Chain A
Amino acid sequence: MFNKTVCLAAFAFIGAFGLAGPAAADDAMAPMDVHWSFEGPFGHYDQEQLQRGYKVYREVCSSCHAMNQIAFRNLGDPGAPFYDPKYPNSNDNPKVKAIAADYKVSDVDGDSGDVIKRPATSADYFPSPYANNAAAANANGGAVPPDMSLLVKAREGGAAYIYSVVAKDGVMTPPHGMIVPAGRYYDPYKSGGVIAMPPPLVAGKVTYDDKTPASVDQEARDVSAFLQWAADPKMEERKQTGLAVMIFLIVFTGLLYASYRKIWSDVGH
């Protein structure tokens, strides 16, 4: 009885503050409700979707958005878009190597000391599309496209928010009387209602290798799922470990309860 009370109290306590949600909602619209394969305690990434999402990132978003926490080798880690159990060391994964070789990164030539560009290897990190933030802002009407490695975690609403921004921007028309400044676009999901990013997706912008028709909705879903992976690459490992830990803890606590009952059995309290 009492343990229940204690547990409930603890949960209520956290509930009251922790999950109280963000401060009073501002003008922004709530992100759309999207169903994802990675939801719930048994959720997992859909590898084909991640591969399609990577393609959208590579061919569309990466011209403006960096992803500087992610190395090419990460694309071949367990749970990642190009994971292949044949290559436990993701640096050897041929798909990963090919993706890396497609990028150029700057380096210093060991002999001459000159700054050079060389093809990336799987150990390199994704290079940024711009030399620095000033250049990025300059090319984008004063706004810096945020780094994408952690974007899903950096926005309330996560992947559904990303999806809402890229799937619906350009489709929705601003409410009557709202003036969207030049170089800005209507975005009801972002507080303030305008964004400096031109709607990035159109149907058929990419050609999927698995022949999935590339509608805007599809592209937006796929790239959002890919970005979810980018922000939380250890999710599958985390949930799998979690299951084992929960089973262990429940059995362990059950044994402790049995011992407790036994030890206190003939002691009044």
Chain B
Amino acid sequence: MSHPSTYEPKTGIERWLDSRLPIVRFGADLMSYPTPRNLNYWYTFGGILSFCLAVQIITGIVLAMHYDASGAGAFMSVERGIMRDVNYGWLIRGVHANGASMFFVAVYLHIMRGIYYGSYKAPREVLWLLGCVIYVLMMATAFMGYVLPWGQMSFWGAKVITNLIGALPLVGKPITTLLWGGFSVDDPTLNRFFSLHYLLPFVIAAVVALHIWALHVPGNNNPTGVNVKSDNDTVAFHPFYTVKDGFAIGLFMIMFAVFVFYLPDALGKADNAIPANPLVTPAHIVPEWYLLPFYAILRAIPDKLLGVLALAGSIGMLFALPWLDTSKVKSMRYRPTARLYFFIWIAATCVLGWCGSQEPDGKLFGIESFNFIDYPIMSVTWASRIAALYYFSFFGIMLFLGLSETPLPVPDSLYTPVLKTPVAAPAE
């Protein structure tokens, strides 16, 4: 870690261990890690995300004890075994299934926070890239997890998504065959998805460790985007941020519990309560909410290959963001124009999400489509095209805006905005 260690082994055993495996020192240094004193609640999502990962892994391991990864047995092992016969199985599955959604709520807010405060800029590019890797792994994990209960949406979702990969030239077909383990989505597919669904969360955990390492080298960014300049700017992580994160996790758990106990199926699809049937295609194949914006981008483009590339590009843009944004000022607090474009970008992403949940030829606000130079523009497809265009343009805007805008004055130190009247140096 980057800050000097303040750990003093106090007992003989601690001294003995410290010169062999300084694990206590490691933990102590994590706790004394100097953290900017001005972090707001948007900075609690890191802790919330760690909580989510732990919850998914613990509930997942218990589910796996009762789960049967076979086409003939999967649905029954979940719906009859786990939901009815296993003691508290309904709770464990309820937490795991809703936990995936909660995880994505947190990760989206975490990413939005990062963009708003410019946390991806030097010297935090690696930290940002690792975060993007986690996000991609999360999507893969959640997608494969959703296949496991082997309901209609599980099966047909798997079919649609694996078929997309088949659109790639040359590599597409072999990869699809490898994923399927045969000529279609079937038992072997379910088996390998289960194996990967069990594996990937541990890969995520490893990348999270790297992510936190990459955080502790440069230290936290903060809402002003101004670097830490003196000890007066920071407080020790513990107890100041353990308690603040703890409180935020408490609030998050309340929201989480509302879903688990009172709305357990609100985020799911009725079709997934029907066992997978390769002969009956559901009327609307829709992914889970957290993938909808990407689904909309995919469908906005009539060509399958281009659609897949646009989908990949929409996530790729996040990876490129540190080099696309040219502004010297990190935080959008001092970049009113950028802030405006950013909020429109959030809105465009929500519009895309909504479009993804609709039938592509559906009408907007129930209005009969009217044509503009031969194009029926009042349709979901056109709404998603316009929103997707903006989604991508935002990254171009960030490129030029940084060169042309005049930011507001940035405070000298991150502590300045806090100090209405100067306060004595912090207790620690």
Mark A residues whose CB is within 8 Å of B.
2-3, 5-7, 9-11, 13-14, 16-24, 26, 41, 69-70, 74, 146, 149-150, 153-156, 191, 231, 233-234, 237-239, 241-242, 245-246, 249-250, 252-253, 256-257, 259-260, 263-264, 266-269
Closest Cβ of chain A to B139, distance in Å, is: 14
Number of contacts between A and B (CB, 8 Å)? 161
Contact of B266 among A9, A19, A267 (CB under 8 A): A19
Interface-centre pick from A17, A146, A155 (highest chain B CB count, 10 A): A17
Contacts of B273 in A (CB 8 A): 150, 153-154, 231
Interface size on B, residues (CB 8 A): 68
Per DSSP, chain A at the interface is: helix
Q: A257 touching B359 by the CB < 8 A rule?
A: no
Q: A74 touching B84 by the CB < 8 A rule?
A: yes
Q: B248 touching A24 by the CB < 8 A rule?
A: no
Contact of B109 among A13, A26, A69, A260 (CB under 8 A): A13
Contacts of A11 in B (CB 8 A): 255
Q: Which of the candidate stretches B33-41, B60-68, B176-184, B209-217 sits at the interface with the other chain?
A: B33-41
Query: Is B357 interfacial (CB-CB < 8 Å)?
Result: yes
Q: B357 touching A20 by the CB < 8 A rule?
A: yes
Closest Cβ of chain B to A166, distance in Å, is: 18
Contacts of A7 in B (CB 8 A): 251, 255
Known contacts A19-B266, A267-B427: A256-B243 contact under CB 8 Å:
yes
A269 to B243, CA, bound (A): 14
Q: B254 touching A249 by the CB < 8 A rule?
A: yes
A252 to B248, CA, bound (A): 11
Contacts of B258 in A (CB 8 A): 246
Q: A23 touching B42 by the CB < 8 A rule?
A: no
Contacts of B286 in A (CB 8 A): 23
Nearest B residue to A125 via CB reads B80
Q: Which of the candidate stretches B193-201, B386-394, B418-426 sits at the interface with the other chain?
A: B418-426
Q: B253 touching A266 by the CB < 8 A rule?
A: no
Closest Cβ of chain A to B67, distance in Å, is: 16
Contact of A23 among B76, B80, B357 (CB under 8 A): B357
Q: What are 20 pairs between A and B in contact, CB < 8 Å?
A: A3-B248, A10-B105, A24-B363, A69-B79, A149-B80, A150-B273, A150-B274, A191-B283, A242-B260, A249-B257, A250-B254, A253-B251, A253-B253, A259-B247, A260-B243, A264-B243, A266-B427, A267-B37, A267-B240, A269-B38
Nearest A residue to B423 via CB reads A268
A69 to B109, CA, bound (A): 39
Q: B41 touching A6 by the CB < 8 A rule?
A: yes
Pairs of residues from A and B, 4 with the lowest C-beta to C-beta distance, nearest first? A242-B261, A253-B250, A17-B289, A154-B273
Contacts of B101 in A (CB 8 A): 14, 18
A231 to B84, CA, bound (A): 10
- Per-position 1/0 for B374-387, Cβ under 8 A of A: 00000010000000
Closest Cβ of chain B to A145, distance in Å, is: 13
Nearest A residue to B356 via CB reads A17
Contact of A154 among B253, B274, B283, B289 (CB under 8 A): B274
A58 to B350, CA, bound (A): 47
Known contacts A234-B90, A253-B254: A16-B350 contact under CB 8 Å:
yes
Query: Is B265 interfacial (CB-CB < 8 Å)?
Result: yes
A136 to B39, CA, bound (A): 63
Nearest B residue to A16 via CB reads B350
Known contacts A6-B109, A19-B266, A153-B270: A24-B362 contact under CB 8 Å:
yes
Closest Cβ of chain B to A128, distance in Å, is: 14
Nearest B residue to A259 via CB reads B243
A11 to B42, CA, bound (A): 15
Other than the known A17-B290, A23-B359, A238-B94, what 14 A-B pairs have Cβ atoms closer than 8 Å? A6-B41, A6-B42, A6-B109, A6-B251, A9-B109, A23-B284, A23-B286, A154-B271, A238-B91, A239-B262, A253-B250, A264-B240, A268-B423, A269-B39
Contacts of B237 in A (CB 8 A): none
Closest Cβ of chain B to A183, distance in Å, is: 19
Nearest B residue to A133 via CB reads B277
Q: A154 touching B41 by the CB < 8 A rule?
A: no
Query: Is B264 interfacial (CB-CB < 8 Å)?
Result: yes
Contacts of A3 in B (CB 8 A): 41, 247-248, 251
Contacts of A22 in B (CB 8 A): 284
Nearest A residue to B242 via CB reads A263
Query: Is B415 interfacial (CB-CB < 8 Å)?
Result: yes
Query: Is B118 interfacial (CB-CB < 8 Å)?
Result: no
Residues 96 to 127 of chain B near chain A (Cβ within 8 Å): 101, 105, 108-109
Residues 255 to 313 of chain B near chain A (Cβ within 8 Å): 255, 257-258, 260-262, 264-267, 270-271, 273-274, 283-284, 286, 289-290, 292
Contact of A17 among B252, B357, B359 (CB under 8 A): B357
